[in-house]
Amino acid sequence: MEMEENENRNIKPTSKTRVLVFYLIVVLGLLLVVIGIIACAFNIAFVEKQKWIAVDSTTKKPDLLVSPDRGNIYSSDGQLMAVSVPSYYTYIDFRADGFALDTFRYSKRNGVDSLAYYLSRKFRDRTPAGYKSYLLRGLKSRSRQYPLCSRKVSYYELKELKNYPFLRLNRYKSGFYTKEQGQRVKPFGTLAARTIGNIYGDIDSTGVTHGRNGLELQYDSLLRGNPGISEVKRIGGRWTNVVEIEPENGYDIRTTIDIKIQDITEKSLLDMLKKIDAASGTAVVMEVKTGEVKSITNMERASEGVYYESRNQAVADETEPGSTFKVASIMVALEDGVCDSSDIVDVGNGIFMYKGARMTDHNNNRGGYGKISVAQAIWYSSNIGVAKTILKGYEKTPEKFVEGLYRIGMNADLKIEIPGAGRAKIRMPEKDWSNWSKTALPWMSFGYETQIPPIYTLAFYNAIANNGKMMRPLFTKEILKDGNVVKRIEPEVIKPSICSDKTLRIVQDMLLGVVEKGTGKAVHSDIVPIAGKTGTAQIASGGVYRRAGHQVAFCGYFPADNPVYSCIVVIRQPRIGYPSGGTMSGGVVKDIAEKIYASSVFLDINKIEQDSTAVVLPAVKSGSLQSVEDVLDRLDVDYNRNNVHSQWARTDVDEQKEELSLKDISVRENLVPNVVGMGVKDAVFLLEKMGLRVSVSGSGRVMRQSISPGQRIVKGKTILLTLK
């Protein structure tokens, strides 16, 4: 026993020692592993740093810009006027790594012969043999950017091309690649196209497209958006696009353009341009109260009878306005007390010599107007009448006349939104005596010696229509983001009042007189009253008049008694007919006014006189009581149902009392019911339920039944119903 205890005491220390040894070994092993990891990390981070950076560069490609969607441009009623659609130039890189040369040359399924056949069938600009020869030339040239076809293709066409022989191979085998362009599509074609503007086709190095002109350029910073960033990484042996930063699409723009009015304006102008074979023409319609431009068109002759939307002449052309300027001259004279509308001025035989220069009226070959009033000088557009009136008041102090023009807003900054817009240029003599001739004042008074864009003339006449308040011409209503309004552009007043109320009423009467009694008689309309002023000016070429032809214009507003719209039409160099602002430009304004008025008339039905043939109470079909009541309730018609006790009813109308009541339809067992007046559904249901066969002829309600009501029913017998 004692020996066993001694042996046990000897064994236990040895066992504990072994455990400690094993534990020490494990700890040392883990320590070595940790030291090894630290050593490897140090080696990778510092010793082999450049090596692993190089390896990392092979697992990803440089960041790519993700192009945003350019914002849309809408009409005032939300119709799409400009939208971006991607288009693509297609190329083959014949030196691409891995280019499948043997496949391209010899494969029957994916070779050049099959590809040439498909391309020829698609684009129809070369034969299959022609395409094969074309592609082999590209192969021989070893071009890295060889055009696959001669035009851009759409996204859907590109998807189709990617399934063509050889092109369906991967990018490295086929060398097929594309360059995207932002193509701007205008669903309404030329309608206000120049005002909407264009963009540059290429997506630039920043990943966006840029506006080139018009509203596209004005609001480019909002429309173009901000590009995102896409990183291309090699994951699982494949290159994968990973979007790191999402692109921010551009804002949308809602314009003031009314598509209906724009269409009317463009067609009316084009019809006149073709009729008189003019070189160009522009027309603008503005809303009087707000200054919103509802339509604007600028047409220029491309060839005989063919016109296209040209540069924006309405806002950019700084030309001599001609006789439309006379109204501004007389307004200044009236305000300064120089004249009254009834003052008499002697224009003689229509020829007036001043400082050695010859001034004429348009009727000088017929003996002139003789003695006329200032108002008549405007009605008849007398150059001499207006010039003599202005000379009477300002011959010694022409700067006061120009100050008056400034005062009524003729040179005000309208802050036009269209890039490249012109400004009114009215010289001040005391600042520019070197260019101020002795004849400058009288010639300025009737529209020469000044340069004014048509939009400025329209803004002035719009102010006359708007009780003297001059509005800034607006082309944009709202800026939107994801359908929500971010900014609303409110109407802006340029001048609260261009003249006194007294002067304004006199001028308004003069403009009405032009159309009713003067040079604008051709503009008179029996549909909508129009007021305005004609204008005819000779175009200077090389400092010489008469050589370049005429510019004719009409500017006014309608309806004259309660103006809603103002309008200007300017036509240059008509080749057919006598140049006339009344018959040519005025004819366009009249057509525009009548069509706008006709398409905008809304009648209050409560004020319309009742038609003697009108149906006061509806004629409701007989049949199921529930259906009859449902119809009358939906029509909100009052009726009396006191005499109905069954599920079938007919309507009884008292036209004199304008009363409608429901009455029972008698349905008795084994007797044919009266179904006249019922609809076919109820009549067939009731008769077949009673055992009869039903044959139907015609449509509408039952007008006649072949078996008279009240006869005994013979089961299975056929009854013919005639409907009408």
Q: Residue 199's beta-bridge partner residues? A: 211
Q: Which amino acid is at 87?
A: S
Q: Which residues, in sequence order, are CB contacts of 572 under 8 Å at separation 6+?
A: 278, 279, 280, 281, 539, 549, 550, 551
- pLDDT for 3 beyond 50: no
Q: Which residues, in sequence order, are CB contacts of 659 under 8 Å at separation 6+?
A: 617, 640, 653
- pLDDT for 337 beyond 80: yes
Give 65-87 pLDDT, tens digit per residue: 777 888 999 999 999 999 888 88
What are the domain boundaries of the chain? 56-79+188-251, 82-185, 262-600, 623-723
Of 176, 229, 184, the closest CA to residue 202 belongs to 184
Cis peptide leading into 579, omega within 30 of 0?
no
What pLDDT is attached to residue 239?
A: 57
Sign for the pseudo-dihedral over CA of 179, 182, 187, 190: negative
Q: Which of 24-33, 310-319, 373-382 has the highest mean pLDDT?
A: 373-382
* Mean pLDDT to the nearest integer, 170-195: 86
What pLDDT is attached to residue 609?
A: 62
Report the C-alpha gap between 187 and 708 in whole angstroms: 64
Give 427-450 pLDDT, tens digit per residue: 888 776 677 888 999 999 999 989
**What tokens appear for 583 in the block?**
């018959």
Q: Which of 195-209, 391-405, 621-635 has the highest mean pLDDT?
A: 391-405
State the chain's mean pLDDT as an integer: 86
Helix intervals (H) in 282-337 = 313-316, 326-335
Q: How confident is the model at residue 359 (pLDDT cuts 50, 70, 90)?
A: very high
Q: Are 196 and 212 in contact (CB under 8 A)?
A: no
**What tokens appear for 87 in the block?**
């288009």
What pLDDT is attached to residue 181?
A: 76
What pLDDT is attached to residue 270?
A: 95
Q: How confident is the model at residue 254 (pLDDT cuts 50, 70, 90)?
A: very high
List Cα–Cα distances, 580 to 51, 532, 551, in angstroms.
84, 14, 9
Of 264, 245, 123, the closest CA to residue 191 belongs to 264
- pLDDT for 314 beyond 70: yes
Report the C-alpha gap between 230 and 379 in whole angstroms: 69
In 433-511, where do the E strands start and end? Answer: 470-471, 476-481, 484-488, 493-495
Q: Residue 544's beta-bridge partner residues? A: 541
Q: Which residue has the higher pLDDT, 54 or 558?
A: 558
Q: Are 424 and 321 in contact (CB under 8 A)?
A: no
What pLDDT is attached to residue 313?
A: 92
What pLDDT is attached to residue 240?
A: 62
pTM: 0.71
What CATH topology corresponds to 262-600? Beta-lactamase (3.40.710)
What pLDDT is attached to residue 610?
A: 59
Q: How confident is the model at residue 1 (pLDDT cuts 50, 70, 90)?
A: very low
Pick the CATH number of 56-79+188-251 from 3.40.50.1240, 3.90.1310.10, 3.40.50.410, 3.40.50.2000: 3.90.1310.10
Give 469-523 pLDDT, tens digit per residue: 999 999 999 999 988 999 999 999 999 999 999 999 999 999 999 999 999 999 9
Q: What percent of the chain has pLDDT over 70?
A: 89
What pLDDT is attached to residue 243?
A: 66
What pLDDT is attached to residue 219?
A: 92
What pLDDT is attached to residue 705?
A: 87
What pLDDT is attached to residue 379?
A: 96
Of 461, 446, 322, 320, the closest CA to residue 385 belongs to 446
Sign for the pseudo-dihedral over CA of 111, 114, 120, 121: negative
- pLDDT for 347 beyond 60: yes
Q: How confident is the model at residue 23 (pLDDT cuts 50, 70, 90)?
A: confident
What pLDDT is attached to residue 162?
A: 92
Q: How confident is the model at residue 546 (pLDDT cuts 50, 70, 90)?
A: low
